Amino acid sequence: MRVHPDATPRCLYLDRISMIKHQIQNRMITIVLLCTISLTGCSLPGLSGLIGTKGRPPVKGEEPVKKFVLDNGLTVVIHENHASPVVTLDIWVNTGSINEPREINGVSHFLEHMLFKGTETRGPGEIDRIVEGVGGMWNAGTSKDFTHYYLTVSSQHVDVGLDVLADVMMHSSLDPEELEKERKVILEEYYRKQDNPGALLYEKVYEIAYASSPLKQTVLGVPDSISAITREKMIDYYHRYYAPRNMVLIAAGDVEMQTLLKKIRSTFDGFDRQFDPYTTPPMPEKRNTGNMESISKEIKESYLALVFPAPGIQEPDDVYAMDVLLYVLGEGRSSRLHQEIREKKRLVSSIATTYPTHKHKGVFVVSATLKRHNLDEAKQAILAELEKLRTKGVKGNELAKAKKLLSNVYYFSNETAAGQSGSIGFYYTLTGDTSFERNYLANIQKQSARDLQRVAKKYLRPEALNQVIIEPITETPEPTSQ
């Protein structure tokens, strides 16, 4: 499931991700939840009949996605769509924290910050002025699996956008003075995260799930590794991974395909840096089972995460089924966990499920906020719901509602050029192909109740459970009635 991250002042920090895989952008869930959702179905006004079974149908003014590979190895994917006069240019670099040596963990995120700080010919702040001068917006995000930089401009200014992105990818100056300033910003970001129970919970999920795995490393890094990233080490990483053969440029929006392709060839001409990844053997994957970590903080409620194994992108049949299962269990007010654990039993103040899809085998998380005295009862109630799912399966109306909700949220998140480039880029970076995104909804519609029960039995097993609890140092007592 592609999950939309929280935004930091300058970048999208995607460790908390996850990114789209469509839980699908969390900001759109709010819109969907305003629709009329009942326990027996989902009524989305104006959207009945929207969902088909042949993949994502074309929108008016839209052309099929086409892929090109330039002579220097840069992959270009163009999605021509004339619904509005804007274009998003989105460069995805196939590297993230899973590719980093442990001693410089956090370098992908640190470098992403630095690429906004100037190039060999443009000083700090100059690129911002250029982009904003044509009414554009740009930002970036770092995850465990990738880093990407996206810029949206009116289609008449696509040349400006291309020039800026190419300059950043090819000629970043990594100014020493700016680097030290940004190091302080990132260290502050790290310490703020330790005081944010939701963000800390998510980070601990990966720490407790694995004894060893590339996914165990955080995107942000830790103080020792952040402090160890010298300019020389950052330049080395930049030159190794920011190479044409390790990148894909997604262009989505109001463009003429062949005209834009010609401009891209010209703009990236001479960019012939060689992809030279580190030769350190990949970290083997070894999962933990039965682990529990409890952390005390100055907070008012407890935070609970029940962590199970989950499929990576190389197991697509399981991915589709888990994406639908996510919506049956914990997405929306009519989901099983919300109804049973929050509404009926009143054991939690909030409950949700998360499944960020990674290249490697990942995690499926049930998280909740609740009073500390409800922790044991809530955990047992959640596990009972999972047992019910494994033994009795999913009802037909639940399955239909989950598919409809997931599919419609997918549509909502792809209404803009930026949403379209995000979907295409995310799945292309994980799979190396455009077909996964193109056929995503068709494969979601194929999922049966048997498929969901199969993955529930395979992954959501009590013996595979790990858990994280962040609880108050002292819990505020319940008010007593007079």
CA distance 77 to 66: 6
Q: Is the pLDDT score of 355 beyond 90?
A: yes
For residue 476, the model assigns a pLDDT of 63
CA distance 363 to 205: 8
Q: How confident is the model at residue 56 (pLDDT cuts 50, 70, 90)?
A: very low
Mean pLDDT of the chain, nearest integer: 87
**Chain segment 198-222, per-residue pLDDT in tens:** 999 999 999 999 999 999 999 999 9
Rounded to an integer, the average pLDDT of 358-382 is 96
The overall longest dimension of the chain from CA atoms, in Å, is 78
Q: How confident is the model at residue 282 (pLDDT cuts 50, 70, 90)?
A: confident
Amino acid letter at 4? Answer: H
Rounded to an integer, the average pLDDT of 395-413 is 94
For residue 304, the model assigns a pLDDT of 98
Residue 402, token pair as written in the block: 């989950």
Residue 82, token pair as written in the block: 């004339």
CA distance 297 to 474: 9
For residue 52, the model assigns a pLDDT of 27
DSSP symbol at 372:
G
**Chain segment 40-52, per-residue pLDDT in tens:** 223 222 222 222 2
C-alpha dihedral sign at 335, 339, 343, 348: negative
Contact (Cβ atoms closer than 8 angstroms) between residue 200 and residue 304:
no
Contact (Cβ atoms closer than 8 angstroms) between residue 285 and residue 98:
no
Amino acid letter at 19? Answer: M
For residue 458, the model assigns a pLDDT of 98
DSSP symbol at 390:
H
What secondary structure does DSSP assign to 187-215, as a single string?
Answer: HHHHHHHHT-HHHHHHHHHHHHHEEE-GG
- Within 45-178, strands assigned E span 66-69, 75-80, 86-93, 137-142, 147-154
Rounded to an integer, the average pLDDT of 235-248 is 98
- For tokens 């049966």, name the residue: 448
Q: Is the pLDDT score of 91 beyond 70?
A: yes
Kindly compute the dihedral angle of the four CA atoms of residues 17, 20, 22, 28, in this order, to the nearest 10 degrees.
Answer: 80
**Chain segment 160-204, per-residue pLDDT in tens:** 999 999 999 999 999 999 999 999 999 999 999 999 999 999 999
Q: Is the pLDDT score of 20 beyond 80?
A: no
For residue 64, the model assigns a pLDDT of 83
Rounded to an integer, the average pLDDT of 317-326 is 97
For residue 426, the model assigns a pLDDT of 96
Rounded to an integer, the average pLDDT of 384-412 is 95
Taking alpha carbons only, the member of 140, 137, 151 closest to residue 115 is: 140
**Partners of 76 in the β-ladder:** 68, 249
Q: Is the pLDDT score of 137 beyond 50?
A: yes
Contact (Cβ atoms closer than 8 angstroms) between residue 377 and residue 302:
no
C-alpha dist (Å) from residue 383 to 209, 340, 462:
17, 12, 7
